Amino acid sequence: MSQIPVFVVLLFLTVPQTYLSAGDETNLLTKLDCQPGEKRIFDYESTTQLWGPLQENFLVRADVIVHCLGTDENGKYGAQGLKYMVQIENLKPSVVKEKQNEITKRSRSKRGVGSWFKQAWVDVKDFFVNLFSKRNKKTDKDFDFEFEKQPSSLQYQCKGTKDANRVKRSAPTPNYENIVYNKMFSTPFVFIQLSNGSIPEIRFSDKDNDLSVKNFKRHIADTFATQLDASKQRVLEQSPIGAHFSSYSYDDTERIEDSLQPTADGMSLKLSSSFLSLSQTKDIKQLAVMRDVAPDDMMEIGNGIGLNYDSSQIGVNAKQIQKISEGRLTTTAGHLSFSLVNPSKNLRTKRDTNENQEEIENYLKVRTKYSLSMTKRITKRSTDEKEKLETLVEMESKLNLKGETIVSESTSDNSLKEKLDMYQKNLKDMFTNKNIQQIAKLLSDNQNPIYILVMKALNLEVMLNEDKSVSSATRLVNDNINDKKIKEVCGHKLSLKNKQCFDLMMILVKSQSTTAQLLLINELKAESTNQGKNEILKLLVQTPSPQNWLINQMLDIMKAQTNSNVEGILLLAISNLGYHSNSKEIKNKIADILRFKLHEMDCNSDEDSLLVDTLEAIGNLGYNSTIPYSERFGDSCLQSDSIRVAAIHSCRRLLTHPSVQKWFLKLLKEPTNSCVIKQEVVNALIEDINAMEMSGPQYTRWPKIDFNEIDNILSENLIQIKHNECFQENIMRYFERKSDSRAKLVVKKAKRIRSKRAVFDSFWTESYCKDWVPEEGKKEGTNPTPSDASVIVSDRMRESEDTEQSSASYLKRRKCSASKSFGPNQAQAQFKADIMTDASGSVENPDYKLMAQFVAGTHFLGKDIDIGKMYVYHKKDQSRAYVNIFGNTLVDAATSDCNGTTVQPYMVSNYFPVYEFSLWIVQMSLGIRMNAQMDFDLPKFNCANKKAEQLQTIHFKPEAKVKASGEVSGKVLVIRGGMNVGGDFNYYSNLDFDPSPQLCLSVYNGYNPMNVSINSWYQFWHPTCSEWIDKTIWSPLSFNWEIRDHHRSAWIENECLITSKDASSMRKRIDP
């Protein structure tokens, strides 16, 4: 983007514009004029393609009547502003489709969809030439597409009507041409135009409340806006697309065909290179004015609500040409195009790519063309003009006009509310047509479309605070499912192992059913097994807005526990509920309990893992009063990475607090801190950015934006220090996720200097393993010497788990990292694995530590989202593992026996908005829905004679499933269309670790069938029925991505950390 001084932008956005005085008119290329009472009639026509190359083209035609009211004598612009009243009549929307042979021809082309966007500019060039050329009058073929009309049927019948005389629908597609929209657009509006051609204000009646209608009127007014000041070829201005710079050029319309040519790349248009001088304008009767807005010219999209504009993510191109004759605009033609995602990020290798497969980003492109052509100008005798003017002035006085900006208006949740209304109406119809037994059955299967629709509605209701409304899905579910129905599905004793029961209880918990909550609380009190309690808590923790009684009941249950593992998982669940509670009192109560527990603990409390659970619970709650305890355990428990990592996690919701930033900076700078500690600090920053991304575009703060001292030290580590490979990938991911220009420069520079170290295997897109050992001939101390041969040592990590005990001296470390992406660009699942094994102590009988982390995420429709991670830490005969999804630690389990623990699938559903904005007549929104499922078997010991000291093999089996759905919707006045992109991905791993005698590791990875699909839809608004009618769905045959087979392959095959050669060299190093 062009570098614009901040004060210039602020001045433009906050201070009213200065308008031309009479003296400034000497620089004008022509003088605008109109006769009071004069009427001009225009034909308006626009074509919008919402989803790139898909079939549907949304056409809008209307008559636009413009009345001249003279100057703004009684307004704030006085004689400097001409005033026009505009009426819109005979608006006719329609949907046409490109002929199938054109679709087929394009889909078979190698360039296919990719060439569509470039070809769009060539079409526009031809269109402009036809429109302005003398020998080519305007025809119905100005928009050069091959269209075939949609079939029509009989009149549409409003839902719920009981009029027996109404004609029922006999075919799926109603006759849209019979729907009259005049009433929606009939209210006149007024705009002011200054002598330089700019339009500083548009005035709406208090009857105009529909944003789409008002934005269409803004668009009509903008077709008259221009810039006639010859001294200002590039200006900062406002229009319906937002705040932006515009470049203006001028020519004689008689030479338009010769001078209007595409540039070399075919991606833009230009007028003749010679700029008209003032002397040349004297001989020009008809002036052509071109306005050009490039992606880097944009400062703000629309009114700035719902989207932080970044030209690298959403590129907007706008172009408009006007013909001005005798001081009056006679013809305008324009074009707007933008891409909804950044097409440049390709995360796949060539071996993952099918050259015949189209990319989703090609479908996320919007194009609108429009024209406004004067067909008639009516001037009357002076007497008639006076009467007409008096009538218009009287009409103006009755409209109760209010001045507003010409910039398109949008609200952050407008489209979400429309989406929710659609869900709620559909559910009401579905529930009305089914009995209670059928409803209970449908809500007991999470694969059923009605179940999925209910879950979507419940998520949106909580987000928009609509869960208490009469028409809510929350109320619908609670009214239809009672205690009797629950027992019919689940039995008198809840059988949560029964999938139907579990699915039904999930819906009821999401709908905040008090009946379901009481049943689960009673089951929790009666349940004796840890696994059973975990399954109940897995449901209760999903309560979106927990009431105080529920949390207090769970606190009472926790106080009665004697088992520290159960107490720990209760703390995690309670802290999660506390975070979503609206009660400050309950948050304080939970924080006090957590502080009290930490006050009684010390670093030796690691044996039962309750300390770790308590710290993770603090991270879930996110309360400032707990920060000193996080710092205390993070700085003092040097013998346990597990505790220190949990202490870092405990601050993940508190990163804006100065104390936390100061502590994190200290952890990064301290040379004796291990790679694991520094890596988790960076991961905490990424998690916070992730949380902001999921909360919507209005949430912008550090670390997502701005650049502070932590960013400085991380950038130095990434660019200047080459011996930090242990967490270099994490730093890189952090800067890639930031929305800051300095962060982008860091990424660009780092990519130039990074060395390629990844190798391909049969599964991973890239993977590598690396070993580290202390330097030859040197004993390890608190400040090891940097060395090129010792990557982590060179980062001066603390090489001993206990620097005071020689028995714990560091022997060798191995870290293996890998990543894999599935799916086409813009609809990818990304899986990452990090496994680290340490050997310490004596060579003959080494101690060991195993840490493994498996991360699931997506790159979906331009957004990188970390969904969740599974983490396991194993040391001696102790194992601990947890699942963290969307930043919340939800499952935490530990074991020290030979049986292990199985954590059943944990499913979480989440919806988050990406953006919503209005451009001209198009209103766009994008949201992403994620359904995540993670489960694992906690490491099991194969114990000989049940003795833990005779360990053989440790098994860990993580599995992740990700369902991602991108929901893009666009509205063109009374037609709305959408595109759904759905992906179904999975991954699993089997990890076997044999600690005796050489610490050997084997890891296998695999996946099951996966797919990505696209479908688009559209429907019309019925003004009489006040509802959206008859959704038409179409799926492109040219897009297809799927994996049909099952796959399992080895990543690491029985690779031992300590070999015979290692043992010999280690003995020499320890006892030289």
Same domain, 87 and 209: yes
State the pLDDT at residue 24: 53
- Give 591-604 as a DSSP string: HHHHHHHHHT--GG
Give the helix/strand (H/E) hosting 571.
Answer: helix 564-580
Cβ atoms within 10 Å, residue 868? 23
Whole-angstrom distance, CA of residue 168 vs CA of residue 124:
42
* Distance, first Cα to last Cα, the chain: 61
User: Is there a domain that residue 913 lies in?
Assistant: no
| Range with the poorest average pLDDT among 61-65, 541-545, 884-888, 934-938 | 934-938
Nearest in space to 608 (alpha carbons), one of 560, 647, 559, 564: 564
Predicted confidence band of residue 892 (pLDDT cuts 50, 70, 90): low
Nearest in space to 343 (alpha carbons), one of 52, 121, 122: 52
Same domain, 587 and 735: no
State the pLDDT at residue 604: 79
* Domain count of the fold of the chain: 4
User: Is there a domain that residue 786 lies in?
Assistant: no
Q: Give the pLDDT mean for 910-933.
A: 79
Angle between helices 741-753 and 709-719 (to 10 degrees): 20
Of 235 and 789, the structure prediction assigns the larger pLDDT to: 235
Residue where a domain terminates, one of 395, 410, 425: 410
State the pLDDT at residue 490: 92
The CATH number of whichever domain residue 195 belongs to comes to 2.30.230.10
Whole-angstrom distance, CA of residue 935 vs CA of residue 925:
33
Task: Write the pLDDT tens digit of every residue in 199-215.
Answer: 999 999 998 988 889 99
Question: Strand pairing partners for 822?
Answer: 829
The pLDDT of residue 802 is above 50: no
Q: Say if residues 310 and 340 touch (Cβ distance below 8 Å).
A: no
Q: 376-385 burial, b for 16+ CB within 10 Å, e for fewer? A: eeeeeeeeeb
State the pLDDT at residue 22: 32
User: Is there a domain that residue 891 lies in?
Assistant: no
Predicted confidence band of residue 271 (pLDDT cuts 50, 70, 90): very low
Task: Write the pLDDT tens digit of every residue in 87-140.
Answer: 999 999 888 876 544 444 444 343 443 454 455 556 656 666 666 554 444 443
Predicted confidence band of residue 874 (pLDDT cuts 50, 70, 90): confident
State the pLDDT at residue 999: 84
Per DSSP, which regions of 716-824 are E strands? 766-772, 810-822
Same domain, 427 and 381: no
Whole-angstrom distance, CA of residue 562 vs CA of residue 573:
17
Q: Give the pLDDT mean for 901-910.
A: 68
State the pLDDT at residue 553: 96
- Going by the DSSP 8-state scheme, the letter that residue 288 receives in this structure is E
What are the residues whose beta carbons fall under 8 Å from the beta carbon of 728, sequence distance 6 or more? 717, 718
Amino acid (1-letter code) at residue 445:
D
Same domain, 418 and 376: no
- Give 438-501 as a DSSP string: HHHHHTT-TTSHHHHHHHHHHHHHHHTT-TTSTT-HHHHHHHH--HHHHHHHHTTTT-TTSHHH
Whole-angstrom distance, CA of residue 478 vs CA of residue 456:
16
State the pLDDT at residue 544: 92
Same domain, 111 and 237: yes
Q: Give the pLDDT mean for 977-1005.
A: 87
Of 608 and 183, the structure prediction assigns the larger pLDDT to: 183
User: Is there a domain that residue 369 lies in?
Assistant: yes
Give me the torsion for CA of 413, 415, 417, 418, rounded to 10°: 170
User: Is there a domain that residue 1025 lies in?
Assistant: no
Give the helix/strand (H/E) hosting 149.
Answer: strand 147-149
User: Is there a domain that residue 787 lies in?
Assistant: no
Give me the torsion for CA of 938, 942, 945, 948, rounded to 10°: -50
Q: Give the pLDDT mean for 803-819.
A: 63
The pLDDT of residue 950 is above 90: no
Nearest in space to 1016 (alpha carbons), one of 102, 47, 51, 48: 51
State the pLDDT at residue 657: 95
The pLDDT of residue 1064 is above 70: no
Q: Extract the tokens encoding 233.
A: 């070829």
The pLDDT of residue 608 is above 70: no
Whole-angstrom distance, CA of residue 331 vs CA of residue 6:
37
State the pLDDT at residue 624: 92
Q: Give the pLDDT mean for 159-168.
A: 42
| Range with the poorest average pLDDT among 276-280, 479-483, 678-682, 799-803 | 799-803
Same domain, 520 and 537: no
Predicted confidence band of residue 529 (pLDDT cuts 50, 70, 90): confident
Q: Say if residues 960 and 870 touch (Cβ distance below 8 Å).
A: yes
* Mean pLDDT for the chain overall: 77
State the pLDDT at residue 776: 46
User: Is there a domain that residue 947 lies in?
Assistant: no
The pLDDT of residue 392 is above 50: yes
Residue where a domain terminates, one of 589, 622, 654: 654
Nearest in space to 820 (alpha carbons), one of 850, 853, 858, 851: 858
Mean pLDDT: which of 7-16, 30-39, 353-362, 514-523 is highest?
514-523
Instruction: Compute CA 325 distance to the chain's CA centroid, rounded to the nearest angstrom.
Output: 47
State the pLDDT at residue 795: 27
Domain membership of residue 338 as a residue range:
6-150+177-410
Predicted confidence band of residue 927 (pLDDT cuts 50, 70, 90): confident
Same domain, 539 and 510: no
Report the relative pairing of strands 1041-1043 and 1010-1022 from DSSP bridges: antiparallel
Task: Write the pLDDT tens digit of every residue in 276-324.
Answer: 444 455 445 678 898 999 888 988 888 766 666 666 667 788 889 899 9
Classify burial at 1068, counting beta carbons within 10 Å of its beta carbon; exposed 0-12, middle 13-18, buried 19 or more: exposed
| Range with the poorest average pLDDT among 43-47, 229-233, 627-631 | 229-233
- CA atoms lying within 13 Å on the CB side of residue 5: 4
Residue where a domain terminates, one of 729, 754, 779: 754
Same domain, 540 and 497: no
| Range with the poorest average pLDDT among 572-586, 800-814, 906-920, 959-973 | 800-814
Of 255 and 669, the structure prediction assigns the larger pLDDT to: 669
Predicted confidence band of residue 975 (pLDDT cuts 50, 70, 90): confident
Whole-angstrom distance, CA of residue 1058 vs CA of residue 1072:
19
Task: Write the pLDDT tens digit of every residue in 554-590.
Answer: 999 999 988 888 898 899 999 999 999 999 999 999 9
What are the residues whose beta carbons fall under 8 Å from the beta carbon of 637, sequence distance 6 or more? 603, 606, 643, 644, 647
The pLDDT of residue 226 is above 60: yes
Same domain, 581 and 703: no
State the pLDDT at residue 284: 59
Q: Give the pLDDT mean for 862-871.
A: 84
Task: Write the pLDDT tens digit of every residue in 343-386.
Answer: 545 444 444 444 445 677 777 888 888 999 999 888 766 666 67
The pLDDT of residue 473 is above 90: yes
Give the helix/strand (H/E) hosting 332.
Answer: strand 328-339
State the pLDDT at residue 518: 96
Q: Extract the tokens encoding 348.
A: 């796949």
What are φ and ψ of residue 335, in 5° steps?
-150, 135
Residue 860's SS3 state is strand
Q: Say if residues 969 and 1005 touch (Cβ distance below 8 Å).
A: no
Same domain, 19 and 141: yes
The pLDDT of residue 48 is above 50: yes
The pLDDT of residue 1007 is above 70: yes
User: Is there a domain that residue 621 lies in?
Assistant: yes
Q: Say if residues 402 and 204 touch (Cβ distance below 8 Å).
A: yes
Same domain, 636 and 691: no
Same domain, 492 and 347: no
- Give 659-712 as a DSSP string: HHHHHHHHHHH-TTS-HHHHHHHHHHHHHHHHHHHHH-TT---TTTSS--HHHH
